[in-house]
């Protein structure tokens, strides 16, 4: 069986997930690239991982479906071994007011973002505990962890839930040597956020104490720190990667 260090990254076909996958590959991890529907994007992520000298596998799975996630972890164990790192990144959102949000939109977001993080955490941790692996679990949150953004009620609710999932999981898994932390990006320029604002950088840079928007690499570096030996005693924490944007208050929306 392969004995190389292994990381599973959900939603790794683009954006922050891709950046995290490539960064972890660059520091010595082999990567399982999970994706939902964007096969071409996942294949591009694999090409980038190959470019930094690491190996990757692709697996399509709906992160909110237990059977599909179990199949993904069975595949991981069979092909690559026991994960050392689990990054729960996959996420969706609905841009709609509370009074107009439908049940199906709410369910889709909570199922993908919060249940997906729960399943990823539980299934990875079971393997880590069984095989006495002192693993690291990273959940990707948001500035919405603490700022109640209007028109994002499903997304904000899911991210607030992820913060508490992180803390409870850290308490329960700490005795096994597994740390669980949350990285909460904010004001990050990716495909989705650029669609939300005509001039995303121009809009957000003046609102951010660092006077710039964040890049995918900023988030990936935070994840790399939390999986490093330097963070062995760091758990149950949320690390905001937002240039200070969401540490200001009250937020003017």
Q: Please check whether residue 124 lies inside any domain of the structure.
A: yes
Which CATH number belongs to the domain containing residue 145 in this structure? 3.40.50.720
Q: Is the pLDDT of residue 129 over 50?
A: yes
In a domain, 129, yes or no: yes
> Is residue 23, in this structure, part of any structural domain at all?
yes
In a domain, 223, yes or no: no
Lowest mean pLDDT among 81-90, 119-128, 183-192: 183-192
204 domain residue, yes or no: no
Comparing 89-93, 130-134, 211-215, 219-223, the range with the smallest average pLDDT is 211-215
Domain count, the chain: 1
240 among known catalytic residues = no
pLDDT computed for residue 1 by the predictor: 40
Strand residues in 102-253 grouped as ranges (E): 136-140, 179-185, 238-241
Q: Can you list the pairs that 118-124 forms with residues at least 24 positions away whose Cβ atoms lie under 8 Å?
A: 118/165, 119/63, 119/64, 119/66, 119/69, 120/8, 120/10, 120/63, 120/69, 120/86, 120/88, 121/86, 121/88, 121/165, 121/169, 121/180, 123/69, 123/70, 123/73, 124/8, 124/73, 124/83, 124/86
Percent of the chain's residues with pLDDT above 70: 94
106 within some domain: yes
Which residues span the domain enclosing 28? 6-185
Residue 242 lies in a domain: no
* Residue 13 falls inside a structural domain: yes
Sheet containing strand 179-185, edge to edge, reads 56-60, 30-35, 6-9, 85-88, 136-140, 179-185, 238-241
Catalytic choice (155, 225, 240, 253): 155
- Mean of per-residue pLDDT scores for the chain: 93
**pLDDT one-digit tens code per residue, 198-241:** 787 787 788 888 888 889 999 999 999 999 999 999 999 999 99
State how far the alpha carbon of 185 is from the alpha carbons of 38, 142, 204, 215, 240, in Å: 22, 5, 13, 10, 6
For range 138-163, the mean pLDDT:
93
């Amino acid at each position: 069986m392969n004995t190389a260090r292994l990381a599973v990254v959900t939603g790794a076909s683009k954006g922050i997930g891709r950046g995290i996958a490539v960064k972890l590959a660059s520091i010595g991890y082999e990567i399982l690239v999970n994706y939902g529907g964007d096969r071409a994007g996942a294949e591009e992520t694999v090409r980038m991982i190959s470019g930094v000298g690491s190996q990757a596998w692709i697996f399509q799975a709906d992160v909110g479906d237990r059977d599909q996630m179990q199949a993904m972890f069975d595949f991981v164990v069979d092909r690559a071994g026991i994960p050392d790192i689990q990054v729960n990144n996959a996420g969706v959102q609905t841009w709609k007011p509370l009074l107009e949000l439908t049940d199906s939109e709410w369910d889709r977001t909570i199922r993908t973002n919060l249940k997906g993080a729960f399943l990823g955490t539980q299934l990875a941790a079971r393997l880590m505990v069984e095989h006495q692996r002192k693993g690291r679990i990273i959940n990707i949150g948001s500035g919405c962890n603490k700022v109640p953004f209007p028109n994002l009620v499903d997304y904000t609710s899911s991210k607030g839930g992820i913060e508490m999932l992180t803390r409870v999981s850290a308490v329960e898994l700490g005795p096994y040597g597994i740390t669980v932390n949350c990285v909460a990006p904010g004001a990050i320029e990716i495909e989705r956020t650029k669609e939300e604002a005509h001039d995303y950088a121009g809009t957000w840079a003046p609102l951010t104490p660092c006077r710039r928007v964040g890049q995918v690499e900023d988030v990936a570096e935070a994840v790399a720190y939390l999986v490093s030996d330097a963070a062995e005693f760091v758990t149950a924490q949320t690390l905001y990667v937002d240039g200070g944007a969401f540490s200001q208050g009250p937020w003017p929306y």
